[in-house]
Amino acid sequence: MKFAELRKAVFEANSALPRLGLVVMHSGNASGIHHATGIILIKPSGVDYNKLQPQDLVAVRLDGQLATKSEIPDRIFSSLLPSVDTEHHLEMYRLDPKLGGIVHTHSTYACAWAIQESPIPCLSTTMADVFGGSIPCAPYVGHGKGKLGQCLLRHRSCGPVVLAARHGVFAFDRSVKLALKAAAVAEESARVAWLAKKLGPLHPFPQKEAKKWWLRYQNAYGQKTKSK
């Protein structure tokens, strides 16, 4: 992906967060990495989404230092401070080079499960398709202790979302667009699970059955099987 395309994708993902009801005011953030240079673009700290512009995205190197204007491929430098969650994004990118985008939200229903330090059980074919089972919840990591990114990746399953206990949702995938989709489906899954719990005891899919749906979705959904 060209850097200009990455900037557009990261801006669009951030702009979509309030529209999808995944954040309130200026909470949450989305980032994407330009693998050729090792530079990530991330939302600036405390900036409201309705005021955010593509040129406001902050360019940060994988070592945590702000990229200089000469290091940024499109030469668009933002002097704003990056999100306070930048260190978690960087840690995840460093530990898993396959990641292309990360979305962090405080969406209501998913956060309710995170507050209870509980995974979101896999109850539907939709959840099985996207997550291959329940959405795990990583243990609480206190402020200033660091290593949240490491903790999240250590507790992930085959799906692209992990809850951070007492904190929120982290979605990650090959692109920021896919990470955004995962965050949105996670919130809807959390809401459906909460409603189902109101109707009676929950009966999660057996893991073996959930994995069947996940494999079909990964390999046959959409246009994956269309001949070239």
Q: Give the chain as a DSSP string.
A: --HHHHHHHHHHHHHHHHHTT--STT--EEEEEETTTTEEEEPBTT--GGG--GGGPEEEETTSPBPPTTTSTT-----SPBPTTHHHHHHHHHH-TT--EEEEE--HHHHHHHHTT--B---SHHHHHHHSS-B-EEPP--TT---HHHHHHHT--SSSEEEETTTEEEEEESSHHHHHHHHHHHHHHHHHHHHHHHHS---PPPHHHHHHHHHHHHHHSTTTT---
- Residue 225's pLDDT is what? 58
**Percentage of residues in the chain having pLDDT higher than 90:** 90
Q: Is the pLDDT of residue 228 over 80?
A: no
Q: Is the pLDDT of residue 10 over 90?
A: yes
Average pLDDT over residues 85-114: 97
pTM across the whole model: 0.94
Q: What is the mean pLDDT of the chain?
A: 94
- Residue 227's pLDDT is what? 44
- Residue 221's pLDDT is what? 84
Question: Tens digits of per-residue pLDDT, 179-193?
Answer: 999 999 999 999 999
